[in-house]
């Protein structure tokens, strides 16, 4: 089952005096580009969450935002070191006066000095981590569900594009048997008009025609193209995420279509080849967003 690399998942949990939230968003990318933001209090769990994301999300440009909001009575306040602030402030005043700078923002500057303001570390327990972990798993489940739903839309469109290519292919099969006699007639007419029948070595002509027509034969391309299209549809129905594999198959489909067009030497078949190429380009665009 294919999935989209575009996804979104959100989970919220209210517990006692805290609200836990996890939001996961992703866009398409060749590799996993993970941006994880979480409270410092849970920083020891960051590697664990990254490993889970790497395993379950696989690919995509992913943003994960983990947040914990405490009620006001449970917030840990900031502490100002008044003695250190006063010392810094007086020193800056003396420097300011000696330089004649007349600065007006000395207090703001002092507040940014090291250790003037200290923040109490938030205390957490295993219960908090269990709640956050469950919230994360719920968000990840919602995220994967979104990806799967988008994947079904992509699958339907890709099946339609392959069906259209096979429809063009069936029309090529109808025209292909008429192509060789038409080529022979055009060559014979050209020789008759420019050289004349009496001046043509018929045995040599037949040999050259066989060689020339063999170069224009598209039987192998037709067989391979049909096989690649069938394999593409089969891979779409697989349980695994096969975006890269589908990309490789689409390249092989394109190779056979291009060769068929180069060998066709027939205006109607080349028009059908153009139609196949248009459908294949739409397939390649969609595959950029397939996991």
List the one residue out of 34, 41, 44 whose CA is nearest residue 65.
Answer: 34
- For residue 6, give the nearest of 151, 128, 126 by alpha carbon: 151
In a domain, 35, yes or no: yes
Q: What is the pLDDT of residue 179?
A: 72
Is residue 141 a part of any domain in this protein?
A: yes
Determine contact, residues 22/136, Cβ cutoff 8 Å.
yes
Same domain as 196, residue 176: yes
Query: 114 and 13: one domain?
Result: no
Q: Decide: 124 and 41 in contact? Cβ < 8 Å.
A: yes
Q: Per the domain annotation, does 2 fall within a domain?
A: no
pTM of the predicted model as reported, rounded to 2 decimal places: 0.71
Q: Which domain holds residue 60?
A: 7-74+131-148
- 13 with 136, same domain? yes
What is the pLDDT at residue 112? 79
| The two structure tokens encoding residue 132 | 């956050």
- Total domains present in the chain: 3
Residues 257, 154, single domain; the answer is yes
Classify residue 126: in a domain, yes or no.
Answer: no
Residues 51 and 159 in one domain: no
Does residue 115 share a domain with residue 57?
no
Residue 178 gets which letter from DSSP? H
Element (DSSP H or E) covering residue 68: strand 60-70
How confident is the prediction along the chain (291 residues), in pLDDT tens digits per residue?
789 999 999 999 988 778 899 999 999 988 899 999 988 888 889 999 999 999 999 889 999 999 988 765 544 556 777 888 788 888 888 887 887 777 777 777 877 787 776 655 555 666 888 999 999 999 999 999 999 999 999 999 999 999 999 999 999 988 887 776 766 666 666 666 666 555 555 666 566 566 556 677 788 899 999 999 999 999 998 887 788 899 999 999 999 999 988 888 788 888 999 999 999 999 999 999 998
Report yes or no on 124 lying in a domain.
no
């Amino acid at each position: 089952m294919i999935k989209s690399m575009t996804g979104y998942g959100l989970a919220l949990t209210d517990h006692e005096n805290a609200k836990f939230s996890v939001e996961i968003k992703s866009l398409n990318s060749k590799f996993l580009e993970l941006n994880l933001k979480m409270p410092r209090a849970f920083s020891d769990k960051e590697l664990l969450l990254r490993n889970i994301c790497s395993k379950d999300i696989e690919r995509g440009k992913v943003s994960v935002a983990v947040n914990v909001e405490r009620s006001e009575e449970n917030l840990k306040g900031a502490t100002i070191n008044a003695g250190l602030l006063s010392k810094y402030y007086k020193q800056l005043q003396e420097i300011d006066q000696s330089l004649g700078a007349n600065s007006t923002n000395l207090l703001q500057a002092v507040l940014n000095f090291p250790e003037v303001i200290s923040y109490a570390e938030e205390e957490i327990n295993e219960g908090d981590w269990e709640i956050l972990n469950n919230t994360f798993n719920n968000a990840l489940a919602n995220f994967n569900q979104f990806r799967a739903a988008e994947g079904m839309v992509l699958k339907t469109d890709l099946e339609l594009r392959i069906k259209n290519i096979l429809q063009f292919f069936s029309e090529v099969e109808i025209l292909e048997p008429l192509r060789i006699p038409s080529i022979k007639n055009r060559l014979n007419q050209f020789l008759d008009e420019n050289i004349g029948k009496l001046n043509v070595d018929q045995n040599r002509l037949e040999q050259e025609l066989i060689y020339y027509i063999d170069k224009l034969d598209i039987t192998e391309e037709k067989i391979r193209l049909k096989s690649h299209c069938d394999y593409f549809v089969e891979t779409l129905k697989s349980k695994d995420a096969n975006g890269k594999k589908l990309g490789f198959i689409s390249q092989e489909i394109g190779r056979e279509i291009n060769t068929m067009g180069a060998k066709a030497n027939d205006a109607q078949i080349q028009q059908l080849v153009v139609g196949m190429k248009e459908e294949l380009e739409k397939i390649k665009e969609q595959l950029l967003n397939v996991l």
